[in-house]
Chain A
């Protein structure tokens, strides 16, 4: 984008401008997210029963499992955005920004998963951390996406950023199956899939399953809300970067004319 107007837009009256990244749709989505989060607390900590084996500790499942599922989804969206940027003719930076925003959200969700999982581990295993297959591969995935975000901030043009981060985004998404199947491939302290048993049947009490469903809905709404806001913020950041570049070029040209 090229902008010739170098006057700061912040001088314009605020009342004439849209403030921030919100719209009516995102506000409604935000309200729906807060309501379902309230349901999650009510069902997760109140209505759902204690587990036969894990007792009250099972309540951690309703935040631990949705956050890791949404982190996986966020990283898959990053890979899709990366692929669309690289392999479509238009090479739209919108795909790149959606990929970057999704990765940021995924990293936050994964950090929550790890921290909450450590608390659960302390109750169940007696320790916060073990270099177990599932925990180690999850930590590796987390560090990989921190690396992805670092690669996005290496500098250069938006196109250079988009191209290099798209390649990284497409490569590191391949770690997700490794994390997911690590509990089957290696002997692991971590339990196997929480919802489906080895035959693919649902192996959970009805109210527990519903509480987990509420958690998944709540975090999915939150993910979409965050994705919309972050993608818009990144679009504005790119515009301002371009404008700064235009100002610098205009200043250099003015210097040349003065000589």
Chain B
């Protein structure tokens, strides 16, 4: 029973890390992809960071 509880808790503990990295990773990927798509339509001269 103790081992079962330990495994159950491990699911939540590891799950919390997986969920965190999946969420921020998906947002980061979407951000970069969106930036690239927009960057293709804008001249370099208009990009203040270049």
A positions within 8 Å CB-CB of B: 1, 8-10, 12, 14, 16-23, 37, 41, 44-45, 55-57, 59-60, 63-64, 67, 105, 108-109, 111-112, 115-116, 119-120, 122-123, 222, 225-226, 228-230, 232-233, 235-237, 239-240
Assess the B39–A18 pair: CB atoms within 8 A.
Answer: yes
Write the nearest CB–CB distance from B33 to chain A, whole angstroms: 9
Write the nearest CB–CB distance from B40 to chain A, whole angstroms: 5
Looking at chain B's contact residues, is the secondary structure mostly helix, strand, loop, or mixed?
helix
Bits for B24-50, please: 1 = Cβ < 8 Å to A, else 0.
100110011011101111111011111
Assess the B9–A56 pair: CB atoms within 8 A.
Answer: yes
Assess the B13–A45 pair: CB atoms within 8 A.
Answer: yes
Assess the A236–B9 pair: CB atoms within 8 A.
Answer: no
CA–CA, A240 and B39, complex, Å: 10
Chain B residues within 8 Å of A1, by CB = 46
Assess the B13–A60 pair: CB atoms within 8 A.
Answer: yes
Chain B residues within 8 Å of A111, by CB = 23
Flag whether B3 is at the interface (Cβ < 8 A). no
CA–CA, A45 and B39, complex, Å: 39
Assess the A230–B31 pair: CB atoms within 8 A.
Answer: yes
Known A1-B46, A22-B35, A55-B9; further 4 A-B contacts with Cβ < 8 A: A17-B44, A119-B15, A222-B28, A226-B27
Chain A residues within 8 Å of B49, by CB = 21, 23, 228, 232
Assess the B9–A20 pair: CB atoms within 8 A.
Answer: no
Name 29 interchain pairs, CB-CB below 8 A, sorted by A: A9-B40, A10-B41, A17-B40, A18-B39, A19-B36, A20-B32, A56-B6, A57-B12, A59-B13, A60-B12, A105-B27, A111-B23, A112-B23, A115-B16, A115-B19, A115-B23, A116-B20, A122-B12, A222-B24, A226-B28, A226-B31, A232-B35, A233-B31, A233-B35, A236-B35, A236-B39, A236-B47, A240-B41, A240-B42
Assess the A57–B34 pair: CB atoms within 8 A.
Answer: no
Assess the B35–A229 pair: CB atoms within 8 A.
Answer: yes
B positions within 8 Å CB-CB of A: 6, 9-10, 12-17, 19-21, 23-24, 27-28, 31-32, 34-36, 38-44, 46-50
Chain A residues within 8 Å of B48, by CB = 235
Chain B residues within 8 Å of A120, by CB = 12, 16
Assess the B16–A239 pair: CB atoms within 8 A.
Answer: no
Write the nearest CB–CB distance from B43 to chain A, whole angstroms: 5
Q: Which of A64, A229, A236 sits near B42, CB closer than 8 Å?
A: A236
Assess the B10–A56 pair: CB atoms within 8 A.
Answer: yes
Chain A residues within 8 Å of B9, by CB = 55-57, 123
Find the residue from A22, A232, A240 having the highest chain B CB count within 10 A: A232
Assess the B31–A116 pair: CB atoms within 8 A.
Answer: no
